[in-house]
Structures are given as C-alpha cells and as structure tokens.
Chains A and B, each alone.
Chain A
C-alpha cells in the first residue's frame, strides 16, 4: 500500500538555528497533510496541517510547505529550542479515505 516516507531519520540542529524536516508522500490522491510532534513516552501532538489547495501555511514558529509537483512536504521550525527535541511525523490523508498513514519519523536533536 502507499505510505508516507521521510528523507532523514535523525536531524541535529544548533539551538537557535532553523530546522527543516522533510517528508515525501506517494499517494497523489492525498489532499490533506498533518505534522505531529511526539515526545518520548507520549502520544503524538498536532502541530500544523495543510490542504492540497495550498502550498504554504504558517503557525507559531512553524511553517509547512507543500510541493505537489514532487510530492514533498516540509516542516520548518524557526529558532529551534531545546523543547523542540522530539520525533516528528508527517501524515497524509487520501481523499475520502478513513485511514491515516504515518511515516517512520525524524528525530530532531538540539545541540547546545
């Protein structure tokens, strides 16, 4: 079946720098995408979402970019802080599908 994949399993970023986490998706029918943050031992928490009719959406310190041409999604975190250390998952939801499939995730490690 189709799934969401991530380019990098681990990303180390200096505190204060910007982080960019990438994600490739394979289902061209997907029209809704979500980024989640999961801290150790906890359930994933919603960060930001984007629909396929948009190519950019901004939140507080986070920005999601969607490139439908190459089926690529990215999460940008501005001024990375120690509290941003976590595993980040992207998820795609195909149109009229109740399943939500997640990729392996990217672990974000903050360097002091």
Chain B
C-alpha cells in the first residue's frame, strides 16, 4: 500500500534562518506531488506541484522554493525565513491517471519567531 511521510512534525525557526521540509512517498511510482500551506483557521493554499523529477510548478511567488530530486521525494526550502512563512505545511500526492484522489501527509507546523 502507498504511504506518505512528512517531517518534521513541528519546527520553530528564527527569522532569517533557512528551511528544508522533506516529503517522501512509498509504494507508488511517478506520483504527482504537492506542497500546500495552511494559515491558522484558514484554507489550503497551493504552493508548488510536480508531475515528474525536476519539474516544479509554482503557484504563488514568494520566499519559498521546491525541488524534486528523486521520483518520490519532494522538498520545500527557503534561504531566509520570514515571519509570514509561519503556518501548517502539507505535502500530498496523487497517482495520475489511475487515481485522482489527493492523499495528504501529516503536516509540519512551522513557527517563525
């Protein structure tokens, strides 16, 4: 069966520090991968998605970047965090075209202080 792993679960970082959040999927190949951010009490904002290795689509221009160095690995990064980067970050995957459902990881709560 397929599983998605996301870590760390919580992270407290100072303003100006770098960020690296990692997400991996097991039990499937060539999945579509997604990064969402959720501010407290708000909806899910799509940040990046990837349909293949090295292919990244950015939805919202901001202080973040994403990379997909391997088929089942998706990384969210920042060189210098801002206070506004605080939020709940969710990685997700779906298997086109056989299964259109989006499956989410457990999320990373990032607090930038």
The interface of chain A, by Cβ under 8 A from chain B, is: 32, 34, 36, 41-46, 49, 89, 91, 93, 98-105
Minimum Cβ distance to chain A for residue B24 (Å) = 15
Additional pairs, 11, CB under 8 Å, beyond known A43-B6, A104-B43? A32-B100, A34-B102, A42-B106, A43-B104, A44-B90, A91-B102, A93-B100, A99-B46, A99-B59, A103-B43, A105-B43
**Contact-size category for B:** 20 to 34
- Pick from B6, B44, B96, B107: contact of A102, CB below 8 A: B44
Q: Which of B23-57 contact A (CB under 8 A)?
A: 32, 34, 36, 42-44, 46, 49, 51, 57
Look across to chain B and name the residue whose beta carbon is closest to the beta carbon of A49: B101
Q: Which 7 A-B pairs have the closest CB atoms?
A: A43-B104, A104-B43, A102-B44, A43-B107, A44-B104, A105-B43, A43-B106
Shortest CB-to-CB span from A18 to chain B, Å, is 24
- A91 CA to B106 CA, complexed, in Å: 19
Give me the interface of B with A, judged by CB distance under 8 Å.
6, 32, 34, 36, 42-44, 46, 49, 51, 57, 59, 88, 90, 92, 94, 96, 100-107, 109
